[in-house]
Amino acid sequence: MNPKKRSKTAEIVAVSRARHLLRYSSPHIFNDPYAINLVGSKWRFILKNNVLDKFISNKLSHFFPIMMQHVIRARYVEDELEKMQKENKEIQYVLLGAGYDSFAYRNKNKNIKIFELDLAGSIKSKQEKIKKIGVETPKNLKVIPFNFEMGNLQNTIEKNGFDRNKLTMFNWMGVSYYLSTPAIIKTLNEIGKFVIEGSQIIFDFTIPKTLLTIKEKEVFTKMLDWVEKRGEPMISHFDPKKIEEKLNTNSIWKKTKNVSPSELMKKYIGKRNDLPKLTPLLWIALWEK
Ligand X SMILES: C[S@@+](CC[C@H](N)C(=O)[O-])C[C@H]1O[C@@H](n2cnc3c(N)ncnc32)[C@H](O)[C@@H]1O
Q: Tell me which of 39, 72, 84, 119 binds ligand X, using CB under 6 A.
A: 119
Facing residues of 237 across strands? 206
Site for ligand X contains 149 (CB under 6 A) = yes
Where does 38-165 show beta strands of DSSP type E?
91-96, 112-118, 141-145
Half-sphere exposure of 13 (CA within 13 A, CB side): 19
Residue (51 or 224) nearer to ligand X, CB: 224
Site for ligand X contains 244 (CB under 6 A) = no
| Torsion sign across C-alpha atoms 83, 85, 91, 95 | positive
Q: Tell me which of 178, 203, 205, 283 binds ligand X, using CB under 6 A.
A: 178
Q: What are the residues whose beta carbons fall under 8 Å from the beta carbon of 240, sequence distance 6 or more? A: 207, 258, 260, 283
Q: Select from 130-138, 174-182, 238-246, 254-262 the region that touches ligand X (CB under 6 A).
A: 174-182
User: Cβ of residue 88: shortest distance to ligand X, in angstroms?
Assistant: 23
Residue (87 or 220) nearer to ligand X, CB: 220
Closest CA to 40 of 98, 100, 97: 100
Site for ligand X contains 16 (CB under 6 A) = no
Q: How far apart are CA 229 and CA 90, in angstroms?
A: 43
Euclidean distance between the first and the last CA atom of the chain, given in angstroms as a whole number: 30
Q: Select from 6-14, 46-54, 209-217, 262-270 the region that touches ligand X (CB under 6 A).
A: 6-14
Closest CA to 15 of 45, 55, 43: 43
6: left (phi over 0), alpha (psi -120 to 50) or beta: beta
Number of residues that bind ligand X (CB under 6 A): 22
Site for ligand X contains 148 (CB under 6 A) = yes
User: Cβ of residue 180: shortest distance to ligand X, in angstroms?
Assistant: 9
Residue (151 or 241) nearer to ligand X, CB: 151
Site for ligand X contains 170 (CB under 6 A) = no
Query: Could you list the residues that contact ligand X (CB under 6 A)?
Result: 1, 7, 9-10, 13, 97-101, 118-119, 122, 146-149, 173-175, 178-179
